[in-house]
Structure 1
Amino acid sequence: MRVYSTITKHLKGKLDYYVTSHLPDKVRLVRLKERHGLIRARLEGAKTASGDVIIFLDSHCEVTQGWLEPLLARIKESRTAVLVPIIDVIDDKTLQYFSSNGEFFEIGGFTWSGHFTWIHVPEREKKRRGSSVGPTRSPTMAGGLFAIDRNYFWEVGSYDEGMDVWGGENLEMSFRIWMCGGTLETIPCSRVGHIFRSFHPYSFPGNKDTHGLNTARMAEVWMDDYKRLFYMHRPELKYYLIVRDRRNLQEKPEELGQV
């Protein structure tokens, strides 16, 4: 766990007390000295992880019984498989848990404006997976919930530290995984509830459009000539400059430890 939040009502000393008095010793609270935002905070958490598998979950999640084993089993089969559970909805006002029909779930897609969206499983993928509970390939992931082999996480480029606060990191990682030899898969036997809020409970420094800027960075590195379609929808981001570091991942995929 890691936190440096501008919202202090349930954090700081209250969080310290809860972790030490209610959670097992294996749970560690890692504090940052200044606000870094979701992306870089997750990187700091990953650096402290010591297990063979890293699992990222938003704080506003509730797991179900037996959610973890299917994720670990698939990573044991393929260390370059990055896995997401079926994400059920928890009502943000009543906290009621809504479980979707397990056989008719959706996978991740994206719009040309650079936003995540849900899409139906194509017929070709239903045939390829062979079973309604088989690992189902997904073009993208929602972002906050996934499991990955710890070594592969670093080999494939981890999170992009050049991205600010929040937004776009899910599409960047999705594109990168597929283009660098991995797979992104939904595991139907794993279910996690998630509170989908209608607002951001935190502010963005300088009121920057971090989602737009981060997504432009992703488009420049990973979308090749298709980035023109992104800029057709987001022309105000066309002249956003990026650094060279992430392009090296695309140009040298053989160095990413593919198996």
Structure 2
Amino acid sequence: MICIILQSDLQLFFHQEQLNLCNKFIERTPDRPDSFFQYNRQLSDKINAVRELPITRHESCNTRRYSLPHYSRAKLSVVISFYNEARSMLLRTILTLINRTSEDYLHELIIIDDCSEDVGLLDNLKQLMRNLFTTKSRLTLILKRNQHRKGLIWSRNEGVRVASGNYLLFLDSHCEVNKGWLEPLLERLALNSSLAVSPLLDPIEPETFSYRTGNVLLKGGFDWSLHFHWLPRVLAELESPEMQYTSPAFAGGILMISREWFLKLRGFNPELQIWGGESIELAIKLWLCGGQIEIVPCSRIGHLFRPRHAFEFPPQFDQKLDSAQATYLRNSKIIAESWLDEYKYLFYALKPAAKQIPLNIHEAQLYDPILIKDGHQCHRFDWYLRHVSPELKLQHWSFSALGTLRNKGRCLHVESTFPKLELLLTSCFRLKVSQWHLHPETGQLSTESKRCLGVRNMKSPERPQLMLEPCVTGQVPSQRWQRRDTQLLHAETHLCLDNPLKNQLELSSCRPHAASQSFQFALEVGAQA
């Protein structure tokens, strides 16, 4: 671990000599295609390390006087973990943070390299920072490189372990900090120490690096598959869009919180591996155990949202599974088992492949959700559904049945073989097996891609045939199905969905107790209308 002290006057104004130093640092980036980083690296290298950004927050935020604690009680430790980030992007994150944060509050910057391919980066960064800033006084820069890949979750916990500030900021390594970002967040935390606050994220376009205004009418949430989603924010009467607002979850891994409160909650679950689910787990834990999450639109940080992961996941227990999906499924399963209580059946209904993934939790682990719940008298998950995210509770209550659709140990699946879609029966434990929803009023049997199971040739002498077609609003005879015990009866033809042979689906006369006509949903919610 490398620790250096930077100059007290942290406002960095670039002269040609300083620009040359930055350019030399950036030129040492290993030659990799843009697909390696999932953004336009060549353009990133050409953009100034600290460029002018548009003021995206409401004008009232610029003139407001913030009530802040004395800096001696509000020292900020910033934790940045990265893996295979382009040098120019990482440098832009660091220098915009230093340049646009009050030196009184910026106590230390902790940067952890998770064993990136660019092995000389941290040594070069240490030398660059020493040359850009004189070695005097206040900001401490702590640099650490993992000797083997340990992941974002482990690295952030390690950053907290060495941190000494009153507050923590977790910041991704592909950000640009905008002016005045700190004061609105710090004011909220000073008023309520059990809060966790997030800036409103302004998206940075990965191809053009254009900096856009984030949407103040969105809040963070997730679905029963434990995937993050943006949700619409509904303004209360007399509520201004620029006011801070509560959010069920946060995005982008950018969060500010009291270090004492974070440690009381035992940090990120160390049993979660590499990346994925850690922010959802922390959000649930915060809300259930006496905290809250707020998004503060007067604080703006730009975040580059990449189209997909720019890194590989280490192999998992089963080489047949995609390692990224297997890692996320395992992490999500830990969250479901730890926090969802009786609602975990909804997770398994949508992610049956998680059932076969072993957790391999260490017996001597220090992180025990039961002890956390007892120590903080945490609410059960039903409280979260009633008071924090009613949208989640209502999400599947509009269906009479949902999840995988099983027949004799295999599941009904829609295979995309361009240019057509094929219906087949496959292993229920394959990743991304089709999820079905039976709508109680229309009788439509639909997939998550809004395709409905329909029937053609309903009145012709020929045998009616199954087909997948776009779902049509309203009650459509060809798409109307009825639940009869475990059978699926087509209402117009009075025939039942049947699997007479191994992978053959057809309609045939309904036969009581026929195993080939018995289709079980992962979850039966209620009776059809």
Same fold (TM over 0.5): yes
| Residue 21 (structure 1) aligns with | 131
Larger Rg: 2
Structure 1: gaps spanning 5 or more residues? none
| Residue 287 (structure 2) aligns with | 178
* Whole-angstrom distance in 1 between the partners of 2:154 and 2:119: 23
* Counterpart contact for 1:90–1:97, Cα < 8 Å: yes
Task: Note the alpha carbon deviations across 1:32-78, whole angstroms, 9 max, x for none.
Answer: 23221000001111112111100001000111100011111110000
Richer in helix (by share): 1
For residues 38-117 of structure 1, the aligned pairs below 5 Å read 38-100=152-214, 104-117=216-229
Task: Note the alpha carbon deviations across 1:4-53, whole angstroms, 9 max, x for none.
Answer: 33331772433333343336752221222322100000111111211110
Structure 1 runs (4+) deviating above 4 angstroms are none
| Residue 223 (structure 1) aligns with | 340
* Counterpart contact for 2:199–2:296, Cα < 8 Å: yes
* Whole-angstrom distance in 1 between the partners of 2:132 and 2:115: 21
Question: CA 1:211–1:189 in structure 2 vs 1: closer, same or farther (change >3 Å)?
Answer: same
Secondary structure of 1:238 counterpart: helix
Question: CA 1:92–1:143 in structure 2 vs 1: closer, same or farther (change >3 Å)?
Answer: closer
* Counterpart contact for 1:114–1:230, Cα < 8 Å: yes
Compute the displacement of 1:193 (Å): 0.5
For residues 160-171 of structure 1, the aligned pairs below 5 Å read 160-171=269-280
What amino acid maps onto 1:68 in structure 2?
Answer: L
Question: CA 1:35–1:19 in structure 2 vs 1: closer, same or farther (change >3 Å)?
Answer: farther
Question: CA 1:20–1:201 in structure 2 vs 1: closer, same or farther (change >3 Å)?
Answer: farther
* Whole-angstrom distance in 1 between the partners of 2:130 and 2:172: 20
Question: CA 1:178–1:14 in structure 2 vs 1: closer, same or farther (change >3 Å)?
Answer: same
Question: CA 1:23–1:197 in structure 2 vs 1: closer, same or farther (change >3 Å)?
Answer: farther
Compute the displacement of 1:130 (Å): 4.2
* Whole-angstrom distance in 1 between the partners of 2:204 and 2:373: 37
Secondary structure of 2:142 counterpart: coil
* Whole-angstrom distance in 2 between the partners of 1:82 and 1:181: 11
Richer in strand (by share): 2
* Counterpart contact for 2:252–2:303, Cα < 8 Å: no
What amino acid maps onto 1:109 in structure 2?
Answer: G
Q: So what's the TM-score if we normalise by structure 2? A: 0.45
| Residue 328 (structure 2) aligns with | 211
Deviates more, 1:160-169 or 1:113-122: 113-122
* Counterpart contact for 1:220–1:242, Cα < 8 Å: no
Compute the displacement of 1:242 (Å): 6.3
* Whole-angstrom distance in 2 between the partners of 1:169 and 1:119: 19
Bigger RCO of structures 1 and 2 (CA < 8 A, at least 6 apart): 1
* Counterpart contact for 2:172–2:252, Cα < 8 Å: no
1:232 maps to 2:344: no
Structure 2: gaps spanning 5 or more residues? 1-110, 316-322, 379-529
What amino acid maps onto 1:29 in structure 2?
Answer: L
1:193 maps to 2:305: no
* Whole-angstrom distance in 2 between the partners of 1:157 and 1:223: 18
* Whole-angstrom distance in 2 between the partners of 1:253 and 1:156: 9
